[in-house]
């Protein structure tokens, strides 16, 4: 076909993004689970019919899902080819992290889209279900040594054949969760989003024709590749290295290295993770699809104008050593994948800062602090409050870091305190910024947060924490200072306690009236402290973000003249 004119291409790109965005919105409004409905831990997109490559993704979904859902669709393509009976109206479902990336809480639905009897593309939906069985409510088990201790494992299976739903699969799913009503609501929301995607694709192809839309998808991939190559050409050639560490794997109290060598040659980029720690016993392993997807997320942060399209990755080579915790094999546990991919992003940023510091920000707080508090109500019904929590983002060339933001692996939001208190028998004694938690610099990091959560249920509860940055602080760049460490404490009859492994613990028994307390890290600082404006320091002290003692220690006393 003839080349698509730029205006039509732009219109079609917007229309297809809108389809994915509307699928996102449909699930967010329909889901029963606050992690999807409020925090938006989900994603939708369009994927290539033959390769599974990402074509379009919604802007409200998690960026980490851009890459991993491509692997999920490829798994479905392989299964359909082996079975040989793909039909219009088929829907596949699975959560196997070693095939589709991330962790077992993320339930993936993949649906082939047919046009005039021919496969045109795939539509996919992924959402974080509240509970999928396993040893720990909410599935973040810091002591897991295999996936079977984390959650129920479902390989790619057909949830629907030719439009007819297989109730047996649904029955199996609902039998393997502590919260079947929540799971059923989330499943129906995802099915509704896929139905809407089919309807909107029909409308689009009715208007423009399959050939024109297909041509637009190819052109968008080529354009994304060209943009990426152009960005790389503007950067200096060279090789830069960085390393950082995870506190431990939740089993053995030893740090785990994440290393990267970043090399630019012309319009090509290589990310080599040689030297990273080997596969470990605990659940901070990640599968290869997750590693590749994380590399994409980091690149997308560094080059924000690039589209969410697989063409971006064509000039990029990701090298991952076999046997490492970045290419873990089944059945290695992967429940804490979030902590490892956050550290991957940190080391990529730190390496890139040596090549082009104006392009990156200092390290963000670096942990989602997955905290689960669960128990049974007086009527015997189980409750599970699972959520993640915010912290400070890194300073940049242009500004201070964001106070109390969400992790840079996502566009999700932190569930509001009011929603959590309304849904579960808990009370937040405190939800506030954490003073003196940010790394100092010409532009300081953002402030971390303090959360103190009291159990109100008369039967008490049990808490589980899966966090990081308890021993290795978020790093500053360009001579900026590091942020503060993550701190977790929990209340017992004889006072407040800290976990032996600093950032991970399961089975914390809490009586009614007892609480847990999270003090999350601030972001790293950017630039030399002597270059910070005295007025900005005085403003931070006046607002209670930093103490006068910390200001004197990090910046000297010149700010005091401004504050008087």
Domain positions in the chain: 6-226, 361-532
- Strands 448-455, 426-434: pairing is antiparallel
Whether the per-residue pLDDT at 308 is higher than 80: the answer is no
118: β partners: 115
For the record, the structure tokens of 308 come out as 């969410």
Residue 412's pLDDT band, with cuts at 50, 70 and 90, is low
CA atoms of 186 and 192, how far apart (whole Å): 10
Question: SS3 letters for 445-497?
Answer: CCCEEEEEEEECCCCCEEEEEECCCCCCCCCCECCCCCCCCCEEEEEECCEEE
Record the tokens describing residue 451, joined without a space.
């959360």
Residues 470, 488 contacting (CB under 8 angstroms): yes
pLDDT-based confidence at residue 1 (cuts at 50, 70, 90): very low
Per-residue pLDDT tens digits for 65-91: 767 888 999 999 999 999 988 999 999
How far apart are alpha carbons 75 and 243 in whole angstroms?
Answer: 32
Q: Look up residue 162 and give its DSSP letter.
A: T
Lowest mean pLDDT, pick from 345-349, 380-384, 466-470, 506-510:
380-384
For the ranges 102-111, 122-131, 435-444, the one whose mean pLDDT is highest:
435-444
User: Which residues fall within 8 angstroms of residue 82, CB to CB, at 6 or more apart?
Assistant: none
Strands 316-319 and 268-272: parallel
Residue 517 scores a pLDDT above 70? yes
Residue that the structure tokens 């950032």 belong to: 503
Is the torsion defined by CA of 507, 513, 514, 518 positive or negative?
A: positive
Cα 328 off chain centre by: 18
> Which long-range contacts link 15-18 to residues 24+ away (Cβ below 8 Å)?
15/204, 16/46, 16/55, 16/56, 16/204, 16/213, 16/216, 16/217, 17/56, 17/58, 17/59, 18/200
Q: 157: which residues sit within 8 A by CB, 6+ positions away? A: 92, 93, 94, 169
Say how far apart CA 191 and CA 197 lie, in whole Å: 10
pLDDT band at residue 59, thresholds of 50, 70 and 90? confident
At residue 245's C-alpha, the angle toward residues 39 and 296, to 5°, is 50
Across the chain, mean pLDDT equals 93
Tokens representing 339? 């902590």
Q: Do 476 and 363 touch, CB atoms closer than 8 A? A: yes
| Residues 6+ positions from 375 with CB-CB distance below 8 Å | 382, 383, 425, 455, 457, 459, 460, 461, 462
Outline where DSSP puts E strands in 63-163.
91-94, 106-115, 118-128, 157-161
Compute and round to an integer the Cα radius of gyration of the chain.
24
Q: What is the pTM of this model?
A: 0.92
| pLDDT range class, residue 496, cuts 50, 70, 90 | very high
CA distance 177 to 407: 27
Q: Closest Cα partner for 262 from 346, 363, 337?
A: 346
Task: Yes or no: say if 529 and 482 are a contact pair by the CB < 8 Å rule.
Answer: no
Average pLDDT over residues 419-436: 96
pLDDT tens string 322-367: 999 999 999 999 999 999 999 999 999 999 999 999 999 999 999 9
Q: What is the pLDDT of residues 168-207, one digit of tens each?
A: 999 999 999 999 999 999 999 999 999 999 999 999 999 9
Q: Which sign, positive or negative, has the C-alpha torsion 94, 96, 97, 100?
A: negative
The helix (run of H) or strand (run of E) holding residue 370 is strand 370-376
Q: Taking Cα atoms as reference points, which of 95, 108, 113 lies closest to residue 46?
A: 113
Nearest to 75 by CA among 103, 106, 108, 44: 108
pLDDT for 166 beyond 60:
yes
Tell me the H-state helices in 237-302. Answer: 288-302
Total count of residues recorded for the chain: 564
- Joined together, the tokens standing for residue 257 give 């290295």
What residue has token string 């307390």?
Answer: 517
Residue 441's pLDDT band, with cuts at 50, 70 and 90, is very high
Sign of the torsion formed by the C-alpha atoms of 463, 247, 452 and 346: negative
Nearest-angstrom CA–CA distance, 127 and 145 = 24
Q: What is the mean pLDDT of residues 268-274?
A: 97
Token pair, residue 422, equals 């309304």
**How much is the pLDDT for 564?**
57
Query: Hey, which residues does 110 pair with through a beta bridge?
Result: 92, 124
φ, ψ of residue 555 to 5 degrees: the values are: -125, -5
| Residue spans of alpha helices (H) in 356-389 | none
List strand residue ranges (DSSP E) for 138-282, in order. Answer: 157-161, 164-165, 238-246, 256-265, 268-272
């Amino acid at each position: 076909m003839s080349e698509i004119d730029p205006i039509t291409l732009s219109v079609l790109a917007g229309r297809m993004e809108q389809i994915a965005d509307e699928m996102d919105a449909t699930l967010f409004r329909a889901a029963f689970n606050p992690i999807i409905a409020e925090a938006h831990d989900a994603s939708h997109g369009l994927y290539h019919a033959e390769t599974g490559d990402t074509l379009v993704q919604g802007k409200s979904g998690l960026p980490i899902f851009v890459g991993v859902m491509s692997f999920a669709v490829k798994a479905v393509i392989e299964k359909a080819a082996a079975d040989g009976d793909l039909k219009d109206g088929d829907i596949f479902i699975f959560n196997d992290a070693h095939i589709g990336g991330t962790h077992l809480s993320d339930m993936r639905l993949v649906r082939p889209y047919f046009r005039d009897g021919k496969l045109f593309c795939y539509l996919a939906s992924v959402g974080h279900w509240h509970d999928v069985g396993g040893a720990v409510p909410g599935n973040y088990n810091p002591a897991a040594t295999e996936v079977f201790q984390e959650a129920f494992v479902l390989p790619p299976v057909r949830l629907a054949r030719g439009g007819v739903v297989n109730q047996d699969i649904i029955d199996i799913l609902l039998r393997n969760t502590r919260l079947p009503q929540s799971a059923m609501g989330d499943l129906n929301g995802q099915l509704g989003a896929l139905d809407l995607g089919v309807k909107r694709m029909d409308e689009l192809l009715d208007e423009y024709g399959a050939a024109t839309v297909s041509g637009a998808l190819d052109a968008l991939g080529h354009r994304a590749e060209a943009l990426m190559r152009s960005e790389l050409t503007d950067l200096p050639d060279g090789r830069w290295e960085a390393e950082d560490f995870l506190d431990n794997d939740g089993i053995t109290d030893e740090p785990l290295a994440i290393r990267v060598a970043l090399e630019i040659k012309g319009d090509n980029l290589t990310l080599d993770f040689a030297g990273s720690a080997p596969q470990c016993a605990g659940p901070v392993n990640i599968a290869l699809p997750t590693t590749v997807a994380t590399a994409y997320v980091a690149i997308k942060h560094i080059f924000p104008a690039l589209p969410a399209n697989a063409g971006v990755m064509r000039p990029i080579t990701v090298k991952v050593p076999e046997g490492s915790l970045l290419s873990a094999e089944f059945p290695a546990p992967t429940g804490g994948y979030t902590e490892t991919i956050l550290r991957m992003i940190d080391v990529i940023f730190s390496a890139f800062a040596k090549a082009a510091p104006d392009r990156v920000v200092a390290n963000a707080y670096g942990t989602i602090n997955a905290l689960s508090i669960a128990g049974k109500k007086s009527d015997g019904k189980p409750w599970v409050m699972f959520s993640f929590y915010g912290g400070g983002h890194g300073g940049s060339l242009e500004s201070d870091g964001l106070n109390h933001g969400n992790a840079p692996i996502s566009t999700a939001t932190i569930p509001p305190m009011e929603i959590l208190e309304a849904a579960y028998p808990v009370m937040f004694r405190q939800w506030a910024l954490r003073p003196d938690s940010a790394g100092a610099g010409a532009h300081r990091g953002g402030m971390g947060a303090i959360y103190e959560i009291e159990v109100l249920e008369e039967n008490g509860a049990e808490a589980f924490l899966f966090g990081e940055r308890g021993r290795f602080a978020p790093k500053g760049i360009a001579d900026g200072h590091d942020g503060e460490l993550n701190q977790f404490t929990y209340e017992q009859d004889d006072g407040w306690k800290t976990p032996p492994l600093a950032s991970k613990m399961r089975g914390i028994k809490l009586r009614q009236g007892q609480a847990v307390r999270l003090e999350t890290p601030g972001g790293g600082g950017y630039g030399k402290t002597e270059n910070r404006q005295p007025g900005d320091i005085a403003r931070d002290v006046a607002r209670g973000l930093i103490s006068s003692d910390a200001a004197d220690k990090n910046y000297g006393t010149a700010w005091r003249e401004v504050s008087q």
